[in-house]
Amino acid sequence: MSFLRNYISTVYNSVRSLLIGMRRTGYYFTHHKEIITQNYPENRDQLNLPERFKGEVVMPHNDNNEHRCTGCTACELACPNGTIKIITKFDISPEGKKKKAIDTFIYHLELCTMCNLCIQACPTDAIKMAQTFEHSVYDRSEFIKTLNKPDSKLMEGVE
Ligand code: SF4
Ligand code: SF4
């Protein structure tokens, strides 16, 4: 008897669940303007991501291939999981003085949690969050990026 009761209850709940779903489907079938899902990637060109969306850390460069990174390593120290590795070098100034400079800014996108701590720690606003998000690659090594461009240098006036 209890088997029959369970069976009827299961059938009843299944039909009820189906009808609830169909009612929702029917509603949106007749109310097109209220649909909030988007056809990705067809809408890629019109994508409007929220302002706070964080996709990856990048280092902006100007038209003269200059950046604002002094190589101070504050971002590396602030990062909680070793995503950033700063390799520094010494440049010789026109006056003949040795000055610390960035050699390579290594960023492990596969480790980054987008916590933003590195951005907040940077005293010269040298890095920022980009809104890129299509990061799929076939080779994991492509996640390891060098953020300073080849032959780039520190922007004049940034200390
Ligand atoms: S966003 Fe967070 S996890 Fe990613 S590099 Fe910056 S500090 Fe590290
Ligand atoms: S990005 Fe900013 S915090 Fe990181 S090494 Fe360069 S100047 Fe320092």
Please state whether the peptide bond connecting residue 41 to the residue before it is cis, i.e. omega within 30 degrees of 0.
Answer: yes
List, for residues 96-153, the tens digit of each pLDDT value.
Answer: 888 889 999 999 999 999 999 999 999 999 999 999 999 999 999 999 999 999 999 9
- Name the residue at shortest CA distance from atom 2 of ligand 2: 122
- Residue 44 maps to a domain: no
Cβ of 86 below 6 Å from ligand 2? yes
What domain range includes position 29?
2-37
> Token pair of 25, please?
């489907």
Predicted structure pTM score: 0.79
- Residue 67 maps to a domain: yes
Burial class (CB in 10 A: 0-12, 13-18, 19+), 7: exposed
Give pairs for 138-142: CB < 8 Å, separation 24+.
Answer: 140/110
Domain check: are 111 and 142 in the same one? yes
What is the CATH classification number for the domain harbouring 135?
Answer: 3.30.70.3270
Could you tell me the distance, in angstroms and rounded to a whole number, from the CA of residue 51 to the centre of ligand 2? Answer: 23
List, for residues 4-47, the tens digit of each pLDDT value.
Answer: 999 999 999 999 999 999 999 999 888 888 877 888 899 988 88
Cβ of 115 below 6 Å from ligand 1? yes
Number of domains forming the structure of the chain:
2
